[in-house]
């Protein structure tokens, strides 16, 4: 694997200013945008009148071509793995039995799902997954130009965002190359084959359309479940527009509160939405969650009740409650234990999801390909491995990150913050003896060490001035999976996302301006 070049190449101030102007106007003209942060005390307006560019990079960031190809090539194996986990209720229950006592959110999700299983026969056995597997490059050594391999950060089974904006970032960088030639500052920036041909917007929209087709009612719609005051609205809207234009499928976007007001189940468990505009009630074919992944989305039991109402319907959920549970960090850690992955993918007693990879069945080589992308993962329970991990975290915190069962970023504990955080949890345990140790809500993960010496010019959303930053890039690979019941199985890789941030930040939120949406320049 070729080492990464020192980046970026030298540019004049005039060249940077010209690129920034072209990037901004391209972004605004093509929906590579966010809603601006509202003024203090105000809300995002119901009818937008202003937009800002999404955080972006002026140049694509170098990324090893073999690592990019590798990440894309194993996505369908990951799709199959998490489909099997989703259908293996005994496996999920065994994991959640240990997570639920120390994590109220996961407990509520698991218990509500179990109640549905116990009360009724599952109304809709078909699951739709729109996944994203995230990777960082891990460097061998510390010198500039060192070789690097991909290591998985996490696997997302709910609300995998930025598919539309990612495609627009790739298109923007290709446009800048064709328009300006990047002023001949580096030969790779004029090499058309170095720019990725990314169709994540079309591929994810096609995945939603596959779910709609499996439901079987042409007039039914896709329901986007969204957060109130969503600023990343154009990423979502682009999917709606593609669904209608390419697949003749209508969409509607509502919050939990709005669904509670307008939604109802009929006797056949069909979910209908009343229209405040005097139209006929709308049948829902697919429920696509761009919310519901964080405790903040469930401020009262009413939101949980609405989630259960949707889960009981015939609509195909993306994801179902089971598929959301499958994305828990604890599942990631357990799969990494010796033999567990192999048993899940190859074991004859595991659920059949109806597809392998390519033209054949899953193999030991597929298992090895996944394990090759994993870094060290440990429990923090009372097992021998858990005790070992606890000691490692206290004695060598600079090597690790502490991860809870959460999605959405901003939840992890890094490096030297780990020992005092564990001490705080221990003190809380002493105040309530007899309960499961709070640290069992977390897993310990070995830190991935990205290559040094890569920089880029990043532009924060709403700002026009690029800043030179020492950067780290995280590659996400999207996947689409339709499985369960009598549906014709679907298993596809669905494009990529590159998020680039300053090395000084451990977290990577795009909407809050930490990360920029980027694209790879294949080296």
HEC secondary structure over 166-230: HHHHHHHHHHHHHHHHHHHCCHHHHCHHHECCCCHHHHHHHHHHHHHHHHCCCCCEEEEECCCCC
Same domain, 416 and 498: no
Peptide linkage before 319 cis (omega within 30 of 0): yes
**Structural domains counted in the chain:** 2
Chain-centroid distance of CA 376 in Å reads 21
**Geometric angle at alpha carbon 462, from 465 and 470, rounded to 5°:** 50
Confidence (pLDDT) at 141: 54
**3-class DSSP assignment, residue 314:** coil
Radius of gyration of the chain (CA): 23
Q: Return d(Cα 445, Cα 440) in angstroms, integer.
A: 14
Q: 359 lies in which domain range?
A: 13-375+448-522
Q: Are 517 and 55 in contact (CB under 8 A)?
A: yes
Which residues does residue 238 pair with via DSSP β-bridges, in sequence order?
A: none
230 is annotated as contributing to ligand binding: yes
The residue out of 429, 447, 465 marking a domain boundary is: 447
Confirm whether 2 is domain-assigned: no
The residue out of 396, 414, 447 marking a domain boundary is: 447
407 is annotated as contributing to ligand binding: yes
Same domain, 271 and 352: yes
235 Cβ neighbours under 8 A, 6+ residues apart:
161, 162, 163, 164, 165
Q: Return d(Cα 193, Cα 377) in angstroms, integer.
A: 36
Per-residue confidence in pLDDT tens, the chain, 523 aa: 667 888 999 999 999 999 999 999 999 999 999 999 999 989 999 999 999 999 999 999 999 999 999 999 999 999 999 999 999 999 999 999 999 999 999 999 999 999 999 887 788 999 999 999 999 999 865 444 457 899 999 999 999 999 999 999 999 999 999 999 999 999 999 999 999 999 999 999 999 999 999 999 999 999 999 999 999 999 999 999 999 999 999 999 999 999 999 999 999 999 999 988 878 999 999 999 999 999 999 999 999 999 999 999 999 999 999 999 999 999 999 999 999 999 999 998 888 787 766 546 899 999 999 999 999 999 999 999 999 999 999 999 999 999 999 876 678 999 999 999 999 999 988 878 778 899 999 999 999 999 998 999 999 998 889 999 999 999 999 999 999 998 899 999 999 999 999 987 665 555 444 799 999 999 9
Confidence (pLDDT) at 396: 97
Q: Return d(Cα 165, Cα 238) in angstroms, integer.
A: 9
Which residues does residue 148 pair with via DSSP β-bridges, in sequence order?
A: 139
244 is annotated as contributing to ligand binding: no
Closest residue by Cα to residue 242 from 502, 522, 495 = 495
Same domain, 436 and 456: no
Same domain, 42 and 89: yes
Q: Are 173 and 519 in contact (CB under 8 A)?
A: yes
405 is annotated as contributing to ligand binding: yes
Determine if residue 409 is left, alpha or beta; phi over 0 gives left, psi from -120 to 50 gives alpha, anything else beta: left
Mark 267-301 as b/e (b = at least 16 C-beta within 10 Å).
Answer: eeebbbbeeeeeeeebbbbbbbbbbbbbeebbeee
Both tokens assigned to 306: 């609405």
161 is annotated as contributing to ligand binding: yes
Q: What one-character DSSP code corresponds to residue 514?
A: S
507 is annotated as contributing to ligand binding: yes
Confirm whether 6 is domain-assigned: no
Q: Return d(Cα 510, Cα 462) in angstroms, integer.
A: 12
3-state helix, strand and coil shares in percent for the chain, rounded to the nearest 5: 40, 25, 35
Q: Return d(Cα 13, Cα 384) in angstroms, integer.
A: 58
408 is annotated as contributing to ligand binding: yes
The model's pTM? 0.95
Q: Return d(Cα 99, Cα 491) in angstroms, integer.
A: 29
Same domain, 435 and 458: no
Q: Where are the beta strands (DSSP E) in 68-166?
A: 127-139, 148-156
Confirm whether 499 is domain-assigned: yes
Q: Would you name the residues annotated as active-site residues? A: 132, 154, 156, 161, 329, 403, 407-408, 499
213 is annotated as contributing to ligand binding: no
Length reported for the chain: 523
Confirm whether 7 is domain-assigned: no
446 is annotated as contributing to ligand binding: yes
293 is annotated as contributing to ligand binding: yes
Same domain, 310 and 352: yes
Q: Kind and range of the H or E element at 29?
A: helix 13-29
What are φ and ψ of residue 380, in 5° steps?
A: -125, 45
What CATH code is carried by the domain that includes residue 424?
Answer: 3.30.1490.50
Confirm whether 8 is domain-assigned: no
Other CB atoms within 10 Å distance of the CB of residue 484: 24
From the number of C-beta atoms within 10 Å of its C-beta (0-12, 13-18, 19+), residue 338 rates as: exposed
Closest residue by Cα to residue 209 from 281, 128, 290 = 128
Given CA atoms 294, 296, 299, 303 in this order, what sign does their dihedral have? negative
How far the first Cα of the chain sits from its last, in Å, is 9
411 is annotated as contributing to ligand binding: yes
Same domain, 469 and 345: yes
Same domain, 492 and 410: no
The residue out of 419, 447, 475 marking a domain boundary is: 447
From the number of C-beta atoms within 10 Å of its C-beta (0-12, 13-18, 19+), residue 81 rates as: buried
């Amino acid at each position: 694997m070729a080492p990464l070049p020192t980046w970026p190449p030298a540019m004049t101030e005039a060249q940077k200013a010209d690129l920034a102007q072209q990037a901004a106007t391209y972004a605004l003209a093509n929906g590579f945008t966010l809603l601006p942060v509202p003024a203090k005390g105000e809300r995002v307006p119901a009818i937008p009148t202003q937009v800002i560019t999404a955080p972006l990079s002026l140049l694509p960031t170098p990324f090893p071509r073999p690592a990019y190809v590798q990440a894309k090539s194993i996505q369908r194996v990951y799709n199959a793995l998490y489909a099997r986990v989703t259908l293996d209720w005994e496996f999920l229950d065994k994991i959640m039995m240990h997570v639920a006592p120390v994590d109220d959110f996961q407990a509520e999700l698991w218990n509500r799902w179990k109640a549905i299983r116990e009360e009724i026969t599952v109304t809709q056995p078909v699951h739709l997954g729109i996944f994203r597997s995230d990777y960082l490059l891990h460097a061998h050594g510390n010198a500039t130009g060192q070789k690097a391999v991909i290591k998985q950060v996490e696997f997302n089974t709910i609300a995998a965002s930025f598919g539309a904006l990612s495609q627009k970032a790739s298109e923007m960088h290709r446009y800048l190359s064709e328009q300006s030639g990047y002023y001949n500052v580096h030969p790779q920036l004029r090499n058309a084959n170095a720019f990725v041909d990314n169709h994540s917007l079309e591929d994810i929209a096609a995945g939603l359309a596959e779910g709609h087709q499996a439901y079987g009612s042409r007039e039914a719609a896709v329901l986007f479940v969204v957060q109130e005051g969503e600023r990343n609205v154009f990423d979502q809207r682009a999917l709606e527009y593609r669904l209608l234009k390419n697949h003749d499928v209508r969409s509607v976007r509502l919050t939990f509160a709005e669904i509670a007001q307008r939604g109802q189940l009929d006797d056949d468990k069909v979910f209908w939405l009343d229209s405040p505009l005097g139209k006929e009630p709308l049948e829902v074919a697919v429920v696509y969650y761009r919310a519901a992944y964080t405790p903040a989305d469930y401020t009262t039991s009413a939101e949980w009740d609405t989630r259960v109402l949707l889960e009981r319907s015939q609509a195909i959920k993306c994801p179902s409650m089971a598929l959301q549970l499958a994305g828990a960090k604890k599942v990631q850690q357990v799969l990494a234990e010796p033999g567990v992955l192999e048993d899940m993918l190859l074991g004859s007693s595991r659920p059949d999801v109806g597809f392998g990879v390519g033209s054949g069945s899953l193999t030991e080589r597929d298992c090895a390909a996944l394990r090759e992308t994993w870094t060290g993962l440990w429990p923090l329970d009372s097992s021998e491995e858990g005790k070992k991990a606890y000691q490692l975290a206290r004695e060598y915190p600079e090597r690790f990150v502490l991860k809870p069962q959460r999605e959405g970023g901003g939840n992890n504990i890094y490096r030297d913050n780990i020992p005092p955080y564990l001490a705080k949890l221990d003190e809380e345990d002493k105040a309530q003896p007899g309960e499961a140790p709070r640290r069992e809500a977390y897993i310990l993960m070995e830190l991935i060490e990205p290559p040094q010496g890569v920089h880029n010019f990043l532009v924060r959303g709403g700002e026009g001035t690029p800043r030179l930053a020492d950067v780290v890039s995280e590659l996400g690979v999207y996947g689409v999976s339709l499985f369960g019941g009598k549906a014709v199985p679907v298993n596809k890789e669905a494009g990529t996302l590159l998020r680039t941030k300053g090395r000084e930040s451990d977290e990577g939120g795009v909407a809050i301006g930490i990360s920029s949406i980027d694209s790879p320049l294949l080296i």
